[in-house]
Structure 1
Amino acid sequence: MSKIEYLKKYNSGIQLLTFDTLSEEQLKEMPEFWKEAISQVEVTERVTSILEHWSKFLYQFQSTITYLKVNLLDVELVIDNDQLALLYTIKNLKGAEVYYIGFNPNTKTTIDYFEKLPDSFKDIYNNLHNGWVYYASKSNGLLPIEDTIILGNEEWGILEEIDASTLPFKLDNCIGLFDNGKGDYASIDLQSENEKIGFIWWHTKMPKLNIEIWPVIDEWTRIGIER
């Protein structure tokens, strides 16, 4: 099965694009680092260019970047649901190709709580990708801002076993930013005084509290790629 055939299993309308076919309007909405990478004809030059930009975000993605430096095979431009995005082809631990998609930070939807996010998250959403996820499931990665959830807006069976009033936060103020594909979220409390600290919201057991949030997101991202 070719790459495009595989991708079309999950979205029949996805298209691979080349830099020289882009319209002026499409070029205007693309980040400069996308243009620099995608305009390169050679695969190795595209990969090198994109990794140079990722290296600016070592605080957030140190482990992921280390893995990508060895196993990123290609970066291509696609149009997915009428949006420009970057498709990453990566080798997993079994030697198979897996596909991740990074959405355009310049065309993200305005969300009420966006400006309340810690600067480390806004930096990713504004300057790298508006979410970077496993293509097939649209999970196992930092979610597009439009797909993040307010935990208090969801139904959680675990609340039949735990008393939400005993938690050190109100679920209405908590945002699930990373979906592990199994119903669990790496999350933050928007009212927390410590922007580095978050928690894991499990859907079947007590949440894991007071964790440094980016190392968890980074590790979960790398593990997702490796599989």
Structure 2
Amino acid sequence: MNKLSFLQQYRKSIEFVSNEDLLSIEKEKIPEEWMEVFIETDKTERKDKLIALWNRVCEKELSHTISYLKENLVDVELIIDNGQYAILYSVKSENDEILYYEGGIPNKSIYDLDMQQAWSSVPQSIVKFYGKLHNGFYYMPSRAMGLVPLERVTYFKEDEWGILDDLEHPLEINLDTTYGFFENGMGEYVAVDLNNCTDNRATLWFTNDQPEYSVDFWDIVDEWILIGLQDN
């Protein structure tokens, strides 16, 4: 099965942007940094430029992820996924399988979220990732094991959490102000309570186990993305 046929199992509408089509894209449609990446015809140079962008945005926060991508990124391609530009990452896992990850176009219209005024409380490192690198970065087939797009951030208030009845200790987060930016597709989230998120403080939330409070948001996200890249 070729790459496009594989991807179309998970996306009804997906297409690759050719080098010729790239030149006709209106400047405001994709970030200038993306254009600099994809106008490069040498595959190695293209990958290096994209890794350099990751380093500029989140070198400290996602150091293990970046290190793995640097060594195992096979290809990067500009795609249109259901009408939206995105970057398709082809990454080699530890067992030499090619895994496809998607990075959405940076979202500077962050007030599209239901968070509205509360967005000002989100740690700036998270705002920077979504606004300058990707509106979500995740395993393409499952749309999980990564940072979800802003439009798919889990607003804890709107979900029913059965685990609440089984908590061994009082709840330490406010569900009304808690948002899950990372999910692994198996009922586990890295969530931020906007009323208590200094120093990137987050909660590791499980649908069927006790939560872990006051974890470092980026430490957990970096570790889990790496696990997915290695052996998703």
Is the structural similarity TM-score above 0.5?
Answer: yes
Q: How does 1:67-216 map to 2 (within 5 A)?
A: 67-106=68-107, 110-111=112-113, 112=116, 113-162=118-167, 166-192=170-196, 194-216=198-220
TM-score normalized by structure 1?
0.94
Q: Which residue of 2 aligns with 1:50?
A: 50
Output the aligned Cα RMSD: 1.7
Flag structure 2 segments of 5+ consecutive residues without an equivalent: none
Alpha-carbon distance change, 155 to 96 in structure 1, aligned in 2, over 3 angstroms: same
Amino acid at match of 1:53: L
Alpha-carbon distance change, 70 to 81 in structure 1, aligned in 2, over 3 angstroms: same
Amino acid at match of 1:170: N
Is the 1:198–1:213 Cα contact (8 Å) retained in structure 2? yes
Measure, in 2, the Cα distance between the counterparts of 1:108 and 1:137: 25
Q: Deviations for 1:95-129, whole angstroms, at most 9, x for unmatched residues?
A: 01000000011465621243331101000011000
Cα displacement (A) at 1:218: 0.4
Measure, in 2, the Cα distance between the counterparts of 1:193 and 1:77: 34
Q: Which residue of 1 aligns with 2:67?
A: 66
Q: Which residue of 1 aligns with 2:15?
A: 15
Aligned residues: 226
Cα displacement (A) at 1:11: 1.1
Instruction: Tell me if 1:33 matches 2:38.
Output: no
Is the 1:31–1:106 Cα contact (8 Å) retained in structure 2? no
Measure, in 1, the Cα distance between the counterparts of 2:173 and 2:142: 30
Flag structure 1 segments of 5+ consecutive residues without an equivalent: none
Cα displacement (A) at 1:25: 5.4
Cα displacement (A) at 1:169: 2.0
Alpha-carbon distance change, 95 to 189 in structure 1, aligned in 2, over 3 angstroms: same
TM-score normalized by structure 2?
0.92
What secondary structure does 2:91 align onto? Answer: strand
